[in-house]
Copies of this chain bind each other. A is one copy, B any other.
Amino acid sequence: MTDEQSPVSSFEGAACPLPLKHSDQVVMGHGSGGKMSQDLISNVFMPPFDNPALRAGDDAAVVLPNSSTRLAISTDSHVVSPLFFPGGDIGKLAVCGTVNDIAMMGARPLYLTASFILEEGLDMDLLRQVAASMKAAALEAGVHIVAGDTKVVQKGKADGLYITTSGVGVIPSAVDISGSKAKPGDAIILSGPLGDHGIAVLAARGELGFITDVVSDTAPLNHLVDAMLKTAAGSIHVLRDPTRGGLATTLNEIAHQSDVGLLLYEERIPVRPAVSAACEMLGFDPLYIANEGKLVAIVQREFIEIILSAMHSTQYGEQAVVIGEVQPDPSGRVLMKTSIGSTRVVDVLAGEMLPRIC
Partner among B54, B65, B124, B154 whose Cβ is within 8 Å of the Cβ of A24: B124
The answer to whether A266 has its CB under 8 Å from any CB of chain B is no
Q: How far is the CB of A170 from chain B (nearest CB, A)?
A: 5
Q: Is the CB of B154 within 8 A of A157?
A: no
Q: Which of A109-117, A250-258, A269-277 faces chain B?
A: A109-117
Q: Is the CB of A117 within 8 A of B118?
A: no
* Residues 127-141 of chain A, each 1 if its beta carbon lies under 8 Å from chain B, else 0: 110011011001000
Q: How far is the CA of A76 from the CA of B79 in the complex (A)?
A: 17
* Residues 40-82 of chain A, each 1 if its beta carbon lies under 8 Å from chain B, else 0: 1100110011010110000011010110110101111111000
The answer to whether A150 has its CB under 8 Å from any CB of chain B is yes
Where chain A touches its partner, the secondary structure class is: mixed
| Copies of this chain in the oligomer | 2
Partner among B40, B63, B113, B115 whose Cβ is within 8 Å of the Cβ of A73: B113
Q: Whose C-beta in chain B lies nearest to the C-beta of A24? A: B124
Instruction: Return chain B residues, CB-CB under 8 Å to A144.
Output: 51, 53-54, 63
Q: Whose C-beta in chain B lies nearest to the C-beta of A145? A: B49
Which of A's residues lie within 8 Å of B, judged by CB?
23-31, 37, 40-41, 44-45, 48-49, 51, 53-54, 60-61, 63, 65-66, 68-69, 71, 73-79, 110-111, 113-125, 127-128, 131-132, 134-135, 138, 144-154, 156-159, 162, 164, 166, 168, 170, 355-356
Q: Which 7 A-B pairs have the closest CB atoms?
A: A31-B152, A166-B166, A75-B113, A48-B135, A61-B146, A164-B164, A53-B146
